[in-house]
């Protein structure tokens, strides 16, 4: 799929560290279980002249730059953790969960089917919104901050994020959709409000244990900002969207038959 790019303020465009829009076709795939790709759509990103945009612009500009003076070593480690905690590591975490918790074949099949269907429909929702809004990444926004029509956004044409910018628009976050879907499925199937998930990130060189959904969701949101690749709301709305997708799927499918 060829996706046109633009140069207007707010419009996504490839940067030196990115290629053309990656996997754009996902936004046109029919969902597996939810009614449509727009059923749980996040709506538009904050406008450039809004207070929310100004606050989030300054936050990622300060905390997400490669040579940040305000990001702590612990925050840098979390950013690196979530640079490699997506679908692959999540699948490994689900396998470890099933083994550690002693799930039988029926329980395992139900968990994997629900989680992977939610991940897929969450990704379709996200990519459909990316294609619709084509919202620029922090690297583009900050390097063009003096030409965006907002006098409060101070630009920096040398600004570089901590990790490489993914090759698709900012709004909304794909990684946070995965976190939202998986944590919702496990929390509901566990039945006691716990998550109890161990996720390993090769980039960070560590395994983290998450006791609750809220714990992992907050870390994922923060980590993507500290990475310099997302504005905060783009992450937060994807946690909500992923949660809604997973809740719908569990409410309509995979219920016990006896």
State the number of CA atoms in the 13 A half-sphere of 60 facing the CB. Answer: 36
pLDDT at res. 258: 67
What is the rounded distance in angstroms from the CA atom of residue 157 to the CA atom of residue 159? 6
Task: Average the pLDDT over 135-159 and give the result.
Answer: 97
pLDDT over 90 at 256, yes or no: no
Q: Which fold has domain 48-252?
A: Vanadium-containing Chloroperoxidase; domain 2 (1.10.606)
DSSP states along 31-94: PSSSS-TTTT---PPPPTTSHHHHHHHHHHHHHSBTT-SS--HHHHHHHHHGGG-SHHHHHHHH
Confidence of residue 14 (pLDDT cuts 50, 70, 90): confident
Residue 229 DSSP symbol: S
- Predicted confidence at residue 23, as pLDDT, reads 84
What does the mean pLDDT of the chain come to? Answer: 95
Q: Quote the pLDDT of residue 193.
A: 92
Question: What pLDDT was estimated at residue 17?
Answer: 61
Q: Note the pLDDT tens digit of each residue in 62-89.
A: 999 999 999 999 999 999 999 999 899 9
**Does position 214 have pLDDT exceeding 90, yes or no?**
yes
Residue 216 DSSP SS3: helix
Residue-range domain boundaries for the chain? 48-252
Phi-psi region at 149: left, alpha or beta (left = phi > 0; alpha = psi -120 to 50): left
The pLDDT, as a whole number, for residue 21 is 80
The full DSSP string for 132-192 is: HH-BPPHHHHHHTGGGSS-TTS---TT--BSSPPPSS-SSS-HHHHHHHHHHHHHHHHHSS
Q: What angle do CA 70, 71, 72 make, to 5 degrees?
A: 110
pLDDT of residue 18: 62
CA 51 to each of CA 20, 54, 57, 129, 190: distance values in angstroms, whole numbers, following the listed order: 30, 5, 10, 22, 40
45 contacts 51 by C-beta, under 8 angstroms? no
Cα end-to-end span (Å), the chain:
45
| Alpha-carbon span 160 to 152, nearest angstrom | 20
pLDDT at residue 20 greater than cutoff 80: no
Over 80: is that where the pLDDT of 257 sits?
A: no
Please tell me the predicted confidence (pLDDT) of residue 51.
Answer: 97
């Amino acid at each position: 799929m060829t996706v046109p790019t633009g140069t207007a303020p707010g419009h996504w465009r490839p940067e030196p560290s990115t290629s053309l829009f990656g996997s754009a076709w996902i936004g046109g795939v029919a969902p597996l279980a939810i009614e449509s790709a727009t059923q749980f759509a996040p709506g538009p990103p904050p406008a450039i002249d809004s207070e929310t945009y100004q606050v989030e612009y300054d936050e990622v500009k300060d905390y997400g730059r490669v040579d940040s003076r305000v990001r702590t070593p612990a925050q840098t480690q979390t950013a690196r953790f979530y640079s490699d905690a997506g679908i692959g590591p999540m699948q490994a975490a689900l396998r470890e969960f099933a083994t550690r918790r002693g799930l039988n074949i029926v329980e395992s099949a139900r968990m994997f089917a629900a989680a992977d269907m939610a991940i897929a429909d969450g990704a379709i929702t996200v990519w459909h919104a990316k294609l619709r809004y084509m919202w620029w990444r922090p690297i583009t926004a900050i390097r063009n901050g003096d030409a965006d029509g907002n006098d409060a956004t101070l630009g920096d044409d040398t600004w570089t994020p901590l990790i490489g910018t993914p090759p698709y628009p900012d709004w909304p976050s794909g990684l946070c959709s995965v976190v939202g879907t998986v944590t919702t499925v496990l929390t509901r199937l566990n039945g006691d409000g716990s998550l109890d998930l161990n996720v390993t990130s090769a980039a960070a060189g560590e395994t983290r244990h998450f006791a609750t959904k809220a714990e992992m969701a907050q870390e994922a949101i923060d980590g993507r900002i500290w990475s310099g690749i997302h504005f905060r709301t783009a992450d937060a709305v994807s946690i909500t969207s992923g949660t809604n997708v997973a809740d719908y799927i569990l409410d309509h499918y995979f219920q016990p038959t006896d």
